[in-house]
A and B are shown apart, each in its own frame.
Chain A
Amino acid sequence: MIELRYVLGGPQGGGLETTSEILSWAFSKSGYGVISDREYFSNIKGRHSYVHATVSATELPKHLSYPVDIVAAMDAETVFTHFNDLRDGGYLIYNSDDDSVNYAGIPSMEKDLRDRLGAQFKGLGLDGTVRSVVKYLQNSRKARVVALSFKELLMEIQKREGIVPSQASRYISTILVGAVAAITDINEESLDYSLRRRFTREDVYRHNKSMAQIVMGLVKGQFGSELKLEQPRISAREFLVASGNDAIAMAKIVAGVRFQAYYPITPAADESFTLEEYETLSGEGSLVVFQTEDELAAINAAIGAALTGVRSSVATSGPGFDLMVEGLGWAGQNEVPIVVTYYQRGGPSTGQPTRGGQSDLLSSVFASHGEYPRIVLASGDHEEAFYDAIDAFNYAEVFQVPVIHLVDKFLANTIATIPMPDLNNVRITRGTLAPKGLKVYKRFDLSSVISPRAFLGDYVMWYSGDEHDEYGHINEDPVNRINMFDKRMRKLDIMEKEIPEERRFSYFGPERPDILLIGWGFVKGVAVKAIDELNSEGMRVGYYHIRAFIPFPRESLTKLTKEVEANNLVAVEHNYMAQASRLVTMNTGIMINRSIVKYTGRPIYVHELVNAIKNMLKGSTREVISYGA
């Protein structure tokens, strides 16, 4: 095998994250690429949560797909929720103590799913117990079933390691680790490395190792290592294994962020937590992470900080961004470099607080009243997000505008293997700064479009949200209004000239594709994989990835779309309206009449994208895809 896919499921707060981390580290330690998406409810403990991963021997994967090779279940709910996700002949790992549990009696399961399962079970003639589902998988789907009595295993570990019974349930996560490790024949050193990394307390490490070994012994005795991956063919000496939140936090530190204000919101808050962890920059500096009373305070405090010359940012999600919009306008009016890292989730309103989406694009491009220039970047994967976060600060300062960096929940909570960043090519550009010792300083000097910036403390200067003169004083004169307005808006032309077109997009696929997919954000990884699959079947499909919405990659897209039949342009997005396609039209005049959209809050999977594209070839103009629990 060169690619392994698995789902690990269990109750929120039940140790799933530990299982996922240990496996991700172990596979990457052996040189495999890993991507591991986390899906969860807005709930602290008890609701169904799962991890869906791809492990690859040939690439650093950026896509997820179904069906999977392994479903590993901590609880009965996972068996019911995910048995359909298992490929024929795949492995089900589950707790045989749950055999008689009936789906109808699981309180944490949403009624809609229960109703759908009820209908399916009726059709299949199953009685709705775990046992009946397992039998069905074995008989009709050739599944290999790894039935483990968790109770017996926990008794065993208590006995062996002298653990008190009340603590034993902590080791459930390692039962899954041991079972997956056995079937996939994970390198034992790598597994040991992960366990050590995860459990820093010697006794806890030992107990977990012991549990893993007990399970591995049991499972290996019963099954071979059928799901063993080929030797990895990725040339790397080291990886970063991190979530999107963490990758962006690291990038911000490289970029020199020294002030971040935030108000807690899923899925953005983890970024600020990570920054706070590094607030002393290991003893040399100070990175002030400021938890404010609300998002209004967060953005405005960050703007205030930016006026002092510090690189300053906020991280938020849709509802928080809405509150920040007023401050964003002030920053635009006052030409303040400020970075907003925007983790999109399902809206409107609180929508789906813990699920993903790309429905805030138009909102961020047009946010706030009045007109002012801004930059909007959008990252497609962890690596892009890293470099985009650095560019965001550079652009903010060079052009003296607010920069919105769009990412999403998929990226935020997905752990991936990332190549070690190439810091040699990273530049810090602070833009035009005012010299010291001027007799008179005019913050909004009209002799250039981008006036030299001085920091509070250097000179006396004024800022005002009102239209202002060169000094920053309120001024309602009509001629001044034109001069100041033009000065601000002309930055759009400068940005257009100075930010290279290649920076704003990437293209994957044949030179003159018959079908062109156009997407952005987390669509990138899955689209690239899908066109590979389709092209290997003899089709000619390309993927155009938009990485900046302002300034828009007008030229390359216009050129490329000219070569493709108008009817073969397909928007692929995580929103209802295909929002990016509307911006394409606005910027280029090209209409995109076909779309593949998903707005269930779950990522687009390779298999469903491939199917959707094939359906389009049969004439459909809109595909709404929806796979996933």
Chain B
Amino acid sequence: MERKMKLTINDYKTDVWVDWCPGCGNFGILSAMYQALADLQLEPEKTVVVSGIGCSGKTPHFVNVTGVHTLHGRALPYAEGIKLANPGLTVVVNVGDGDLLGIGAAHFVALGRRNVDLVVIMHDNTVYGLTKGQASPTLTRNLQPKALPKPNIQDAVNPIGLAIASGYTFIARGYAARVQHLKELIKKAILHKGAAFIDVLQPCVTYDNIHTYDYYNKRVYDLQEEGWDPVAKSPEELPQKAAQALVKSYESDDRVPIGIFLVNPNVPTFEERYSQRLPNYLKIPPAREPIEVGGKPVISIEKFKDLFKKYVIELR
């Protein structure tokens, strides 16, 4: 494909109408995404935005890179399948809090264990917007956003804490109204080698009258501005670092930290682990390997017998 010298933010926009509610926090996330992609000059064909279901699920249609809009809760398995079959692609997942921590929680934990090199951006608005404001897994107990008939009876999960426990190697929180800050987080997450998770505080202007822009503007503070160094410089340093990051992740009520909580560069990516076992894995990824020659399998009968000799019985 012909390529302009430099891609601009507009090159990363599609002409699909963005049908989120006016004022939705998702606009800030989308804007940060456009800017991050343009800053990094990511090739649209080699970049894949994967999403689940709901308002966040529509994100790929608004971004002019390859988009895979999947099933509720299942964005991560799709993203992992794509990345593992073709590690040359840059994969960024946009999912909701219900998507990731409700129906998809097992996948969230599993991705941390694997440390596949992809980015997960969670649109965290404490409600299920597209189904009219039910409580999401990040809504605190006893809160009652306006759509709920009764106060929330379930406790909230701590996404940053869960990410730490699951083994993510880049863990951050952004705020949809601080687009420049979020853009930098997204860029760092993309450049990070390994599973990166960004929890993005994202006001739902229609259904959540509690976590408003005003609510966050008063409480949000930047960890890095307060001098927090998130990097675990060695495996030995990780437990201490992770414990401190976990303490920070429990701060809420009056002060809500954003920024990078933890970076752990000491764990091999899943792709590196496969490379250990499969020497040609990164050089010729599975998706790019030839499987036929002139319509015939690359495995000839001689090769077949050699490969599967333990099943072959030769008679006299």
Chain A interface residues toward B at CB < 8 A: 25, 28-31, 236-242, 246, 250, 253-256, 258-259, 261, 278-288, 290, 292-294, 296-298, 300-312, 326-327, 330, 417, 420-421, 423-424, 426-430, 437, 455-466, 472-474
Contacts and interface: CB of A to CB of B under 8 A. Distances in A.
B249 interface: no
Interface of B: 1, 14, 16, 44-46, 48, 50, 53, 58, 60-61, 64-71, 73-74, 76-82, 84-86, 88-89, 106-107, 109-110, 274, 277-281, 284-289, 291-292, 295-301, 304-308, 311-315
A259 B311 contact: no
B307 to A, nearest CB: 6
Nearest to B75: A300
A601 B24 CA distance: 56
Contacts of A30: 315
Given A239-B313, A256-B298, A282-B306, A305 B71 contact: no
A142 to B, nearest CB: 35
Contact of A250 (B16, B311, B315): B311
Contact of B84 (A31, A290, A461, A463): A290
A307 to B, nearest CB: 6
B105 to A, nearest CB: 10
Contacts, number: 239
9 contacts: A258-B287, A259-B84, A297-B76, A297-B77, A297-B106, A304-B79, A309-B85, A426-B296, A428-B292
B67 A423 contact: no
Contacts of B77: 292, 296-298, 300-301, 304
Given A254-B299, A259-B85, A278-B307, A456 B48 contact: yes
Contact of A241 (B76, B305, B311): B311
A464 B274 CA distance: 29
Contacts of B14: 473
A327 B77 CA distance: 11
Given A254-B297, A279-B277, A293-B107, A308 B70 contact: no
Contact of A286 (B16, B284, B306, B307): B284
A472 B66 CA distance: 10
A466 B311 contact: no
A286 B74 contact: no
Contacts of B298: 256
A294 B106 contact: yes
A241 B313 contact: yes
A307 B82 contact: yes
A283 B274 CA distance: 14
Contacts of A327: 71, 74
B102 to A, nearest CB: 13
Given A242-B311, A258-B287, 15 more contacts: A254-B299, A256-B292, A297-B110, A300-B81, A305-B81, A307-B82, A309-B287, A310-B85, A327-B71, A327-B74, A417-B313, A428-B296, A457-B66, A462-B61, A465-B53
Contacts of B67: 461-464, 472
Nearest to B303: A282
Contacts of B106: 293-294, 297
A574 B76 CA distance: 38
Nearest to B14: A473
Contacts of A29: 313, 315
Nearest first, the 9 closest Cβ-Cβ pairs linking A and B are A256-B291, A304-B81, A301-B81, A428-B292, A258-B286, A305-B85, A300-B77, A304-B78, A308-B287
Contacts of A311: 291
A308 B277 CA distance: 21
Given A288-B286, A330-B70, A460-B64, A304 B313 contact: no
Nearest to A247: B311
Contact of B304 (A239, A254, A288, A430): A254
Contacts of A300: 70-71, 74, 77-78, 81
B63 to A, nearest CB: 10
Contact of A421 (B53, B279, B304): B304
Nearest to B300: A423
Contact of A261 (B44, B81, B308): B81
Contact of B289 (A31, A286, A296, A298): A286
Contact of B61 (A28, A281, A473): A473
A464 B84 CA distance: 21
A424 B300 CA distance: 8
Given A254-B297, A427-B296, A464-B61, A240 B312 contact: yes
B301 A281 contact: no
Contact of B78 (A279, A301, A474): A301
A405 B300 CA distance: 24
Contacts of B110: 292-293, 297
B315 A303 contact: no
Q: Give the most central of B70, B73, B81, B299: most A CB within 10 Å.
A: B81
Contacts of B44: 460
Contacts of B60: 462, 464
A240 B291 contact: no
Q: Give the most central of A29, A294, A460, A472: most B CB within 10 Å.
A: A460
B315 A236 contact: yes
Given A303-B78, A465-B69, A312 B278 contact: no
Nearest to B53: A465
B84 to A, nearest CB: 5
A236 B86 CA distance: 42
Nearest to B283: A286
B66 A280 contact: no
A297 B285 CA distance: 21
B280 A284 contact: yes
A460 B65 contact: yes
B204 to A, nearest CB: 20
B280 A330 contact: no
Contacts of B50: 304
Contacts of B295: 427-429
A281 B315 CA distance: 26
B74 A258 contact: no
B301 A424 contact: yes
B154 to A, nearest CB: 22
B314 A238 contact: yes
A300 B53 CA distance: 14
A461 B74 CA distance: 20
B314 A310 contact: no
Contacts of B68: 304, 307, 456, 462-463
A288 B287 CA distance: 10
A187 B67 CA distance: 63
A473 B16 contact: yes
B74 A296 contact: yes
Nearest to B274: A288
A423 B299 contact: yes
Q: Give the most central of B1, B44, B79: most A CB within 10 Å.
A: B1
Nearest to A436: B1
Given A258-B289, A426-B296, A459 B107 contact: no
A619 B48 CA distance: 64
A242 B161 CA distance: 48
B81 A303 contact: yes
